[in-house]
Amino acid sequence: MSEPAAPASVSMETLVSLCKRRGFIFPSSEIYGGINGFFDYGPLGVELKKNIRDCWWSDMVRRRDDVVGIETSIIMHPKVWEASGHVAGFSDPLVDCKASKQRYRADQLFFSPVTVEGRVIGYVSALESERTASELQEAAELMKRKKAVQGKLEPVAPRDMTEARPEEIELIPSPATGEPGSLTPPRSFNMMFQTNVGAMTDAASVAYLRPETAQGMFADFKAVWDTGRVKLPFGIAQIGKSFRNEITPRNFIFRSREFEQMEMEYFIHEDADWAKSHREWINWCKGWLMSIGLPESHLSEYDHPKEKLAFYSRGTTDIMFRYPFGVQELWGIAARGNYDLTQHEKASGVPQVVFDEATKKKFVPHVIEPAVGVDRIFLAVLCAGYAEEDVTDDKGNVEKRTVLRLSPRIAPVKVAVLPLLKNKPELVARARLLYQKLQRRYAVFYDESGAIGRRYRRQDEIGTPWCVTIDFETIEADGSFTLRERDSMQQRRIQEAELFALLDQKVY
């Protein structure tokens, strides 16, 4: 594994542009103008994403004796979502602007009264961002100037729209028009996508695209328990697509409407020390993120305040990542008691109990749930790995290189094979032979066009950890190649067997 990347600050524009230019991510259906909140992964993106999934699967499932994997259907019986509480409560507060037809998440739309020496002269609003408070303050100063009000302006006191009193709603300007009077009071908007199963489109045929993969593990708990030769504590893991009709998808793939989750439900005894298990899983998740190259300095923890937790929840801690748009949730680790299994037991009538040999008692197991989005990890590794550097070539010329310092575990291409010259058949033949051998085990790229330095740069930009150059020494002397390392840019001679050993050690 490579050293974690040094913290980098990169703008989202730069990343989005790199993703498009190099075929990591495209807007979905772009030829029709795109569709908000949906993305396609291009040839390099799909490799990077697959590697993230594969690393998680091998570390979470294959390399652990206490976790098994499953894959459940995306559309499940609608009663699953009634029992889980999603039909009644999986909603965000929505505010409409009647004038512009824009929609906002009420908890992301902030406002403040503008108060001059104790008198409210109007209201200002701003959308949630790193600068919300200063935007509101600037808007308040502008209002005071425009209205030519004398006296001392008091500092703004931002609240979000869920906290607005009914009499304030009419007075708060819409961020779209800048004018008050068009915002509606917040209302609940259920984020599940609905569909109909079968030929009839009536109430009885309504079904949902799953908004999380977790319910698959709860609904199949008994099936795994009865067949999987498992004993407590043990986990059931799944990777798969989830769908949420987010009111305001934003920040590229950070919050989208179709995304991929990697979730694990870790079932523990009802008398087990849940806090200890919870902490162990937080530590495991953090360690795993670092094992795929995220620097510890970009990670932090956020404990959800007790008063904001659902009644059944014992504690939730989010692992936060420092994205360019702020510190945001990457991975949530929740201690959920036995709420989910109990709900399914009640709704289905099928007992979800296990038998404790020691106490001769039956009980419903409790659960610790680490839940993370693949797309959020994808974005995090790009943010942390991106760097622009000045490098000096052999002739003393300084040029810029863009480099993605991705861990070899997840890099979309592990090694590029480059014949020094493309018009020397013996070099090309040897390079192609090595390429074909490497291809059987790794994602490899063959490139013979352009100056060697330019070819290295192309690989740096997509995060390829190593380039191997086949030169005259290879064919005329000892068969060794030049191995060029992405991060240090250092070169050394390497034999084929050594190259395979290096890859085997660093990639898996």
Q: Which of 84/174 has CB closer to ligand GAP?
A: 84
Cβ count near 252 (within 10 Å): 21
Q: Does 256 bind ligand GAP (CB under 6 A)?
A: yes
Q: Please identify which residue in 364, 372, 406, 462 interacts with ligand GAP, judged by CB under 6 A.
A: 372
d(CA 491, CA 152): 65
Q: Does 322 bind ligand GAP (CB under 6 A)?
A: no
Cα–Cα nearest to 411, from 337, 335, 302, 486:
486
Q: Please identify which residue in 376, 414, 455, 486 interacts with ligand GAP, judged by CB under 6 A.
A: 376
SS3 of residue 113 by DSSP: strand
Q: Which of 19/417 has CB closer to ligand GAP?
A: 19
Q: Does 331 bind ligand GAP (CB under 6 A)?
A: yes
Residues 209-248 that bind ligand GAP (CB under 6 A): 212, 214, 244, 246
Q: What is the DSSP string of 458-503?
A: HHHHHT--EEEEE-HHHHHSSS-EEEEETTT--EEEE-HHHHHHHH
Q: Please report the sign of the dihedral spanned by the C-alpha atoms of residue 444, residue 447, residue 448, residue 450.
A: negative
Q: Please identify which residue in 22, 49, 222, 255 interacts with ligand GAP, judged by CB under 6 A.
A: 255
What's the min distance (Å) between Cβ of 392 and ligand GAP? 41
d(CA 347, CA 155): 52
Q: Please identify which residue in 56, 252, 259, 288 interacts with ligand GAP, judged by CB under 6 A.
A: 259
Q: Please identify which residue in 47, 263, 345, 471 interacts with ligand GAP, judged by CB under 6 A.
A: 263
Q: Which of 237/403 has CB closer to ligand GAP?
A: 237
Return the range that interacts with ligand GAP (CB under 6 A); candidates 150-158, 258-266, 304-312, 380-388.
Answer: 258-266
Q: Which two tokens stand for residue 292?
A: 């795929």
d(CA 93, CA 301): 26
What's the min distance (Å) between Cβ of 376 and ligand GAP? 4
Q: What is the DSSP string of 261-299?
A: EEEEEEEE-TTS-HHHHHHHHHHHHHHHHHHTT--GGGE
Cβ contact 366:353 at 8 Å: no
Binding mask 407-436 for ligand GAP (x = CB under 6 A): ------------------------------
Cα–Cα nearest to 139, from 162, 122, 152, 159:
122
Return the range that interacts with ligand GAP (CB under 6 A); candidates 5-13, 370-378, 427-435, 466-474.
Answer: 370-378
Q: Does 474 bind ligand GAP (CB under 6 A)?
A: no
Residues 26-55 that bind ligand GAP (CB under 6 A): none
Give the DSSP H or E segment for 315. Answer: strand 315-323
Cβ-proximal residues to 235 (8 Å cutoff; 6+ apart), any chain: 60, 64, 66, 67, 68, 264, 265, 266, 267
Alpha helices in 302-419 (DSSP H): 339-348, 374-385
What's the min distance (Å) between Cβ of 90 and ligand GAP? 9
Cβ contact 284:266 at 8 Å: no
Return the range that interacts with ligand GAP (CB under 6 A); candidates 102-110, 220-228, 325-333, 396-404.
Answer: 325-333
Q: Please identify which residue in 375, 447, 460, 471 interacts with ligand GAP, judged by CB under 6 A.
A: 375
**CA–CA distance from 372 to each of 49, 80, 233, 415 (Å)?**
13, 21, 21, 29
What's the min distance (Å) between Cβ of 332 and ligand GAP? 4
What's the min distance (Å) between Cβ of 243 and ligand GAP? 9
Q: Does 332 bind ligand GAP (CB under 6 A)?
A: yes
Q: Which of 56/456 has CB closer to ligand GAP?
A: 56
Q: Does 466 bind ligand GAP (CB under 6 A)?
A: no
Residues forming the site for ligand GAP (CB under 6 A): 212, 214, 244, 246, 255-256, 259, 261, 263, 329-332, 369, 371-373, 375-376
